[in-house]
Amino acid sequence: MSTGNIKRLAYVFAAVLTLFACGDDGVGKLADAPPTLTDRDSDGVPDNLDNCPDLSNPDQVDTDGDGQGDACDTDDDNDGVADGSDNCPLVPNPDQTDTDGDGVGDACDNDADGDSIPNADDNCPFAANGDQTDLDGDGLGDACDDDIDGDGVPNAVDNCPTVANPDQGDVDENGLGDVCDGVITPSFQSSIVGGNIVATGKGFAGRFDGVVDPSVELTITGIPANSKVLRAFLYWTVIGMPFPTVTFQNATVTGTEIGQTGDTCWGIGNNFMYRAEVTSMVAGNGTFTASNLLSTMDFTPDGQGISLVVLYKDPADARKNFVSISDGAVGFVNGSETSTSIATGFTVGNNFAKATAINLVADGQPAPDDITFNGVSFGEGDAFQGLDGAMWDTRIDDITSVVEPGSTQIETVVSANSDCLAWAASIVVIEAFDAGGGPARRAPAQRFKLPGTKAAKKVPAKATAAKKAPPPLFPDGRGTATYRRHSVSPSFLLKK
């Protein structure tokens, strides 16, 4: 029974009692005249019982229990903030904290950080992280976890913040822990309803094609209408010197160095690999400009290439999709190495829809190299030709055909048979990865294939490329001999 109804019954009962009074002889008798009961606001509650006697409030709600009804109380929650300016007028919150700035205080906002994930389900309820990535699986999202790899070393001082290494071993004392130095390691991993990735890239090396490219355009397509960009990353690589700062969309962007590799057969110096988050500058499809890039035509420090990788969420896609981004710096500097990146953290269902791999590789040109997924070659003899322009590949492969239901990992192997390369990132997306039931159904593979080449063929999972002679020596025109690029070289390279 509501408070108002209880008060009405009390009123009726009191009125009845006033009709009778006890005389001197103890015999009840009708009172001479009942008292007058008033209800100034005509809400059915007599004034002597009404918590807002001059303002109609038949429900008699009194949130803070101070005896004054909400209808006439200027501070309903009694937190010292007047209702007119209180961002939670019915929930005490004197600090008025509003994490997402939406005008609704955190105390009464069921999505305090505004990332479209209810607080009850959000692994960082007060730090926006629509991707919900949680590398160490501790239930605390990376966006609010001060130790995202769970090794007991805070991110701020961890020399491998995304790979557990409690001993912090760093043999070469370069600031990168041994377990994440010279390898591709996870930087992002999540299962996202409607989540997917698109990527594009451009090479800007001047030394190979004789064209200086200090500015390039990156065109993103394929993001469905009404999708929300969750994260956007810019990756770039230069050779010969550190170059952490570029311009993107007319804004200065400074990247995090994700690693270095040795000289990739040019005699110029190390490769420096960078990643920067540019989410605030990428709202969806469009053409984006990267400028102030390092690009030269002689054998001095030069660029390699740059890629834009965009993670988005499509509200029309109800499937749960697995997304993994691993990055770092792997150098192939002798023309005979192999390196492996393994994506884990999922179990593929019988009816998963599609699997896609994206790999960012620097210094590629027409020369033998390969890429395999789960032991199957997709490289067609030359996986990295610099198809984004000189010295850069943003290679995208449909690898659905090599992913089996029940799989818990995807293995990517890059082999530099007689090429010299620098591998920066390995990305995997499995759409509807946990879809089960019935016999397995998969879309046919659409392998990356060069015109006139043979179909991809299966190779043993652990096979390694045969060693070949290192790249030939060329005179550098200055009276010395240095490692120049491979036997396939433009004639201008031999000029002084």
Q: Is 177 helix (H, G, I), strand (E, B) or coil?
A: coil
Q: Which sign, positive or negative, has the C-alpha torsion 77, 124, 156, 137?
A: positive
Contact between 312 and 222 under an 8 Å Cβ cutoff? The reply is no
Phi-psi region of 375 (alpha: psi -120 to 50; beta: other; left: phi over 0): left
Which pLDDT tens digit goes with each residue over 14-55?
Answer: 554 444 444 444 444 444 555 667 978 788 888 888 889 888
Distance CA 140, CA 118 (A): 15
3-state secondary structure of 180: helix
**What's the length of the chain?**
496
Give the pTM: 0.71
Instruction: Tell me how far apart the alpha carbons of residues 494 and 178 are, in angstroms, rounded to a whole number.
Output: 38
Sign, CA dihedral 248-424-184-230, equals positive
Torsion over CA of 213, 337, 256 and 364, rounded to 10 degrees? Answer: 10
pLDDT of residue 48: 85
H helix runs in 207-316, sequence order: none
Pick from 286, 260, 287, 276: which is nearest to 424 by CA? Answer: 260
Separation between Cα atoms, residue 299 and residue 205, nearest integer Å: 11
Give the pLDDT confidence of 230-277 residue by residue, as tens digits.
999 999 999 999 999 999 999 999 999 999 999 999 999 999 999 999
pLDDT at res. 474? 29
List pLDDT tens digits, range 392-433.
999 999 999 999 999 999 999 999 988 899 999 999 999 999
pLDDT tens-digit readout, 334-355: 878 899 999 999 999 999 999 9
CB atoms within 10 A of CB 136: 15
- In angstroms, the CA 410 to CA 375 distance is 10
How far apart, in whole angstroms, are the C-alpha atoms of residue 88 and residue 106?
Answer: 8
pLDDT in tens, 140-161: 988 899 998 898 999 899 888 8
- Write out the two tokens for 140: 């605390």
384 and 419 in contact (C-beta within 8 Å)? yes
What pLDDT is attached to residue 495?
Answer: 24
**C-beta of residue 209 within 8 angstroms of C-beta of residue 490:** yes
DSSP-based three-state secondary structure for 277: strand
Give yes or no for a contact between 93 and 107, defined as CB atoms under 8 angstroms apart: yes
Q: Which two tokens stand for residue 91?
A: 């929930």
The dihedral through the CA atoms of 466, 470, 472, 476 has a sign that is positive
Q: What is the DSSP letter of 389?
A: B
What b-and-e string marks burial along 426-462, b requiring 16 or more CB atoms within 10 Å of the CB? bbbbbbbbbbeeeeeebeebebbeeeeeeebeebeee
Its sign, for the CA torsion 450, 340, 312, 219, is: negative
Per-residue pLDDT, 249: 98
66 close to 80: Cβ distance less than 8 angstroms? no
